[in-house]
Amino acid sequence: MGHCHGKSNGLPSSPEQCAATGPRMWRSLEELAGDEALIKSIEGEFPSAIEQLTDLASRREFLRVMGASLALAGLSGCIRQPEEKIIPYARAPEQIVPGKPLYYATAMTHGGAGIGLLVESHMGRPVKVEGNPLHPAVPEIMRAANERAPASQMRFGATDAITQASVLSLYDPDRSQTVLRSGQIDTWESFFTQLRHQLEHFDATRGRGLRLLTETVVSPTLADQIQQLLAKYPAAAWHQYEAINDDNALLGARMAFGADVSPTYDFAKAEVILSLDDDFLGDGPMHLVYARQYAERRRQAAEGRMNRLYVVETSRTPTGAAADHRLPAGEHELISLLVAVARGLKLDLPETSLPAVQQPWVDAIVDDLGKARGRSIVLVGRNQPAFVHALADNLNAVLGNIGQTVSFRRPAAARVEVQQDSMRELARAMGAGEVEALIVLGGNPAYNAPADTKFADSLNKVRFSVHLSEYADETSALCTWHIPQSHYLESWGDTRAADGTVSIIQPLISPLYESKTAHDVVAALMGNPDAASHDIVFEYWRRQHEAAKTAGAFDAVWQKTLHDGAGAKTAAPVKNVSIANNLAAVLTVALVREAGANQSTNVQLVFRPDPSLWDGRYANNGWLQELPKPFTKLTWDNAALVGPDFASEQKISTGDVIELKANGIAIEIAAFVVPGHPSQTITLHLGHGRERAGRIGNRVGVDVYPLRASTGNWFAPIESIRNTGRSYTFATTQHHHLLEGRELVVAGTLDQLQANPDRPAFMHVGEEANPRDSLFPIWKQDGYQWGMVVDQSSCTGCNACVVACQAENNVPVVGRDEVLRGREMHWLRIDNYYDGEPSNPATYHQPMLCMHCEKAPCEIVCPVAATTHSAEGLNEMTYNRCVGTRYCSNNCPYKVRRFNFFDFNAELRHNPTMQLRPNPDVTVRSRGVMEKCTYCVQRINKARIESEKDGRSIRDGEVVTACQAACATEALTFGNLNDRSSAVAKSAASKLNYPVLGELNTRPRTTYLAVVKNPHPLLAKATDHGVS
């Protein structure tokens, strides 16, 4: 342990103290403090694996399993091959060629907007999701290379972790499979008989007492159907509610412009960005495009076009970690800072109190924004109150950004409304007994409606309630009828992107169960239970086409829209907006009220969507549950995230169960101390503690919705906080795979780079090793030589690559207990490194995957040559040879090899639904073999075969690894290092390129680009932001 820790177990007082004793970077507070217990527990490669032998019950289990595996290992060599069937079609469908995947364009609606996807289908089974680069919310991968390639070459776009994981939900055996009436199995026909009964009653009353509750409807067809329903029953009402909504931004826009508009940004033009709690790189309907535009400007350091990002935030987000200057703040402090900036830019606002230490911040931001008029963006997160949004809108107007970097359009939602109000009104009506029938299309309001609406209690007063959802969840349990909802990969439908572009959702597979879409249910409400979703959507657009009198046959337009995945010219026009005359007065009033309300400096709870589970709807997805969350690397759990200063003040440490009281309700949740978390707030992630999510998601983590009220529902002042004295063990992967405190992330500043572009001062990693100074064989370097470069400046730590790798390579889910033992199977992980004071350290993300070393330490220790070096530079792992000694993993300095301690994939083989999921191009590994990143060798082989059939060599951009294809910021580049013109060769030749642990002379194929930050000269020294 050559670690940076002082003599005592206390935190070091300054980074300089660290610098004096060794490497300055650290990965967790325990590591920084040199916690003996932690170090002991992680010194072994797989922590606490031995505990199974001491616990009697599990020891017996262990011996049983080991006995069985030994017996099988001995036998497997002698068994004759089993007889297998080969089953052709009776009548072959068009287009399907066995062995060749097909890609279909479709779209997924998430968070109130659509995202365009290309889904890979093998013999009718969707197995992998990629982005559709023709969709406005999806940036294209390897665009420069693709433009040189012939049109026949497939082009892909980026995706995020949630869309990547959506394919697993399709095959989830816990999905609802049948209509339920009060929990008993029933049929669609019987439901419709009952429904008709109700409708006859409503025919007489014009629909009084009929209420419809949906999530944000962005489907034009569904909106049209609902309008028809409301026309038929004029006294009925339609409500929309999602727990994570953009109410504040909408109210802010109404305040600022007097119009229902929502902003879209152009980060490609932005030189200075000020984000107040907006995680625009990781969240929101356009975040993939924003992340790309942001990262592209980031990489233009040499051209002098590098942008600068300021983030003030009340929690910890990937955007904050990417910032050049990040300020953790409480809500009040954040507003004061924005007001000070606005006053600095000559806006007429009342003065607010600002801590003196933040004055340099304000000066720097005012200086930068003032110099970048029309080339800057001020943006505010959805959790900030409406007037902060209005103030940011005002600032953008004053800076001349509107029309340049910020444009306003009609929101994508078919009916724009304040969802909190809508939900409150519905709950009131239900409580008052005014609602006779409630039709809930999607969503899970019994779980996630604001606590004070008492939605779940009121639901019992509704005589006839129907819930359409993918799972028989908390809301279904309280409704008279539950209708299973089709997954988007089984449904016909349509959706709009945030800019209004229409995509048709087309199914990749027939519904696996007796499920229905929202279109089917609304059609049934109109008295037509047998309508097909396809016909409803098709007819709607045919009518639109005829009404618009557009030239050309509709069939051709329909086919093209289906094929492209995005309707041509369907984006909403940019609206001209102007600041309302009374805005200054309105803002002043709001600010005075805010200052009054925030006199007490109580710590506040901050509610955030879970980075993986969102509002809880993805709780039964094993990939997302096991995905290590940014900063905490927490799996299978949520926690109360607290700042280090607050923690030491309150004597709380990670794992302490604390009792939090807010809104008169107390919950118990374990605390997690996160470096850089503000000390004025406690972050709680929504979406955990589900009771009826399914076998994966039930009772994972703690449900924090009970603390959330319908007013100001992103923050809640805590009434009390108490340490219960009990402790809890988190399944966090932050400490796994200890790297012995070596210097792994290299970071510097733009100034340092410009001062010496050929050899920046911070590029001093390791000694130049002579490739011949080695006992390892020298490999020939002809033909293709694959390699990867990871740009750490671009990586936002969003986890899309981790799930993409899991989906592509059939990487299993192991469960919380096994994660606690360090047995997670992810081939690709994202390590966090911190630099500087724990209260606000610089944070770096480092994607870590197999380095494919030229002099691979794993290869020489394998007794059976199961891991070998290929002529193209791959470090190959041959599962059928592996006998499971794990020597390779012991000898790997990067800790990227994973061992199948159990048959984690058993379900993939034995569960009839799960059997459909795996990628057929990759072996499903069994117990007892080592595995690791292969550089997606199946994709390399495919490209090699196709190129040789065409008699050419593989083009740059033709092989795209799964992680690379998912990455919105193009932080990962892969290709042939021998081709000097390839993107990867250019990156590898960059002055910022370095190998991790280069001093070991492993000569890795995966190399890294140093982080370059762009601090403001005024702040470069004043802050403790680590970029020394």
The footprint of another protein on this chain (CB under 8 A) covers a number of residues equal to: 39
Give dist(CA 1028, CA 1017) in Å, integer: 12
DSSP, residue by residue, 726-794: EE---EE-TTSS--TT-----EEEHHHHHH-TTS-TT---S----TTSSSSPPPP--S--EEEEEETTT
Contact predicate 580/255, CB 8 Å:
yes
Whichever of 75 and 87 has its CB closer to another protein, that residue is 87
| Tokens describing residue 620 | 């039964």
User: C-beta of 972: minimal distance to another protein in Å?
Assistant: 20
Contact range with another protein by CB under 8 A, out of 94-102, 127-135, 374-382, 592-600:
94-102
Whichever of 83 and 767 has its CB closer to another protein, that residue is 83
User: C-beta of 936: minimal distance to another protein in Å?
Assistant: 9
Whichever of 99 and 596 has its CB closer to another protein, that residue is 99
Report the residue from 168, 874, 888, 983 that binds another protein according to the rule CB under 8 A.
874
Report the residue from 8, 56, 75, 81 that binds another protein according to the rule CB under 8 A.
81
| Tokens describing residue 307 | 């942008």
| Tokens describing residue 610 | 């879970």
Contact range with another protein by CB under 8 A, out of 38-46, 368-376, 410-418, 946-954:
946-954
Give dist(CA 607, CA 679) in Å, integer: 15
- How many angstroms separate the first and last alpha carbons of the chain? 25
Contact predicate 181/480, CB 8 Å:
yes
Answer yes or no whether residue 87 interacts with another protein by CB under 8 A.
yes
Torsion of CA 54, 55, 58, 61, to 10 degrees: 50
Answer yes or no whether residue 88 interacts with another protein by CB under 8 A.
yes
Answer yes or no whether residue 100 interacts with another protein by CB under 8 A.
yes
Residue 519, classed as helix, strand or coil, is helix
Alpha carbon distances (Å) from 856 to 421, 709, 847, 896, 1000: 61, 56, 19, 12, 10
Answer yes or no whether residue 99 interacts with another protein by CB under 8 A.
yes
Whichever of 710 and 868 has its CB closer to another protein, that residue is 868
Residues in the chain, overall count: 1028
Count Cβ atoms below 10 Å from residue 493 Cβ, excluding itself: 25
Contact range with another protein by CB under 8 A, out of 145-153, 310-318, 814-822, 931-939:
931-939
Whichever of 208 and 881 has its CB closer to another protein, that residue is 881
Whichever of 29 and 858 has its CB closer to another protein, that residue is 858
Longest distance between any two alpha carbons in the chain, whole Å: 91
Contact predicate 695/631, CB 8 Å:
no
Whichever of 906 and 1000 has its CB closer to another protein, that residue is 906
User: C-beta of 910: minimal distance to another protein in Å?
Assistant: 15
Answer yes or no whether residue 80 interacts with another protein by CB under 8 A.
yes
Answer yes or no whether residue 152 interacts with another protein by CB under 8 A.
no
Give dist(CA 152, CA 438) in Å, integer: 50
| Tokens describing residue 850 | 């197999």
Report the residue from 7, 91, 651, 772 that binds another protein according to the rule CB under 8 A.
91
Report the residue from 530, 535, 555, 948 that binds another protein according to the rule CB under 8 A.
948
Contact range with another protein by CB under 8 A, out of 269-277, 656-664, 883-891, 944-952:
944-952
Report the residue from 109, 621, 792, 934 that binds another protein according to the rule CB under 8 A.
934
Binding mask 602-631 for another protein (x = CB under 8 A): ------------------------------
Contact range with another protein by CB under 8 A, out of 124-132, 162-170, 340-348, 935-943:
935-943
Contact predicate 798/160, CB 8 Å:
yes
Contact range with another protein by CB under 8 A, out of 580-588, 825-833, 871-879, 986-994:
871-879
- The upper half-sphere exposure of residue 574, i.e. CA atoms within 13 Å in the direction of its Cβ, equals 12
Report the residue from 90, 151, 231, 356 that binds another protein according to the rule CB under 8 A.
90
Binding mask 875-894 for another protein (x = CB under 8 A): -x-xxxx-------------
Binding mask 895-924 for another protein (x = CB under 8 A): --------------------------xxxx
Answer yes or no whether residue 121 interacts with another protein by CB under 8 A.
no
Report the residue from 8, 37, 75, 89 that binds another protein according to the rule CB under 8 A.
89
Report the residue from 119, 830, 937, 968 that binds another protein according to the rule CB under 8 A.
937
Count Cβ atoms below 10 Å from residue 474 Cβ, excluding itself: 21
Query: Cα-atom radius of gyration of the chain, to the nearest Å?
Result: 28
- Amino acid, res. 1006: T
Torsion of CA 69, 75, 76, 81, to 10 degrees: -140
Residue 126, classed as helix, strand or coil, is strand
Report the residue from 945, 981, 989, 999 that binds another protein according to the rule CB under 8 A.
945
User: C-beta of 923: minimal distance to another protein in Å?
Assistant: 5
- Amino acid, res. 408: F
Binding mask 360-399 for another protein (x = CB under 8 A): ----------------------------------------
| Closest listed residue to residue 481, CA positions, set 176, 202, 177, 179 | 179
CB burial class (10 A; 0-12, 13-18, 19+) of residue 12?
A: buried
User: C-beta of 782: minimal distance to another protein in Å?
Assistant: 11
Report the residue from 73, 871, 883, 989 that binds another protein according to the rule CB under 8 A.
871
Contact range with another protein by CB under 8 A, out of 211-219, 455-463, 560-568, 930-938:
930-938
* Continuous H helices in 620-719: 622-625, 644-650
Whichever of 688 and 927 has its CB closer to another protein, that residue is 927
What are 437's strand-pairing partners?
210, 464
| Tokens describing residue 1003 | 């000569």
User: C-beta of 865: minimal distance to another protein in Å?
Assistant: 9
Answer yes or no whether residue 73 interacts with another protein by CB under 8 A.
no
Report the residue from 182, 720, 890, 941 that binds another protein according to the rule CB under 8 A.
941
User: C-beta of 908: minimal distance to another protein in Å?
Assistant: 12
Whichever of 599 and 880 has its CB closer to another protein, that residue is 880
Whichever of 93 and 912 has its CB closer to another protein, that residue is 93
Contact predicate 786/1005, CB 8 Å:
yes
Count Cβ atoms below 10 Å from residue 717 Cβ, excluding itself: 16
Whichever of 94 and 768 has its CB closer to another protein, that residue is 94
User: C-beta of 945: minimal distance to another protein in Å?
Assistant: 5
Give dist(CA 420, CA 429) in Å, integer: 14
Whichever of 476 and 810 has its CB closer to another protein, that residue is 810
Answer yes or no whether residue 938 interacts with another protein by CB under 8 A.
yes
Whichever of 102 and 562 has its CB closer to another protein, that residue is 102
User: C-beta of 119: minimal distance to another protein in Å?
Assistant: 20
Binding mask 823-862 for another protein (x = CB under 8 A): ----------------------------------------
- Residue ranges with strand state E in 902-1018: 930-931, 972-976, 993-994, 1006-1009, 1011-1013
| Tokens describing residue 769 | 């090793």
| Closest listed residue to residue 669, CA positions, set 645, 634, 696, 644 | 634
CA–centroid distance for 178 within its chain: 30
Residue 1019, classed as helix, strand or coil, is helix
What is the contact surface with another protein in residues (CB under 8 A)? 80-81, 83-92, 97-100, 868, 870-872, 874, 876, 878-881, 921-924, 934, 937-938, 940-941, 945, 948-949, 951
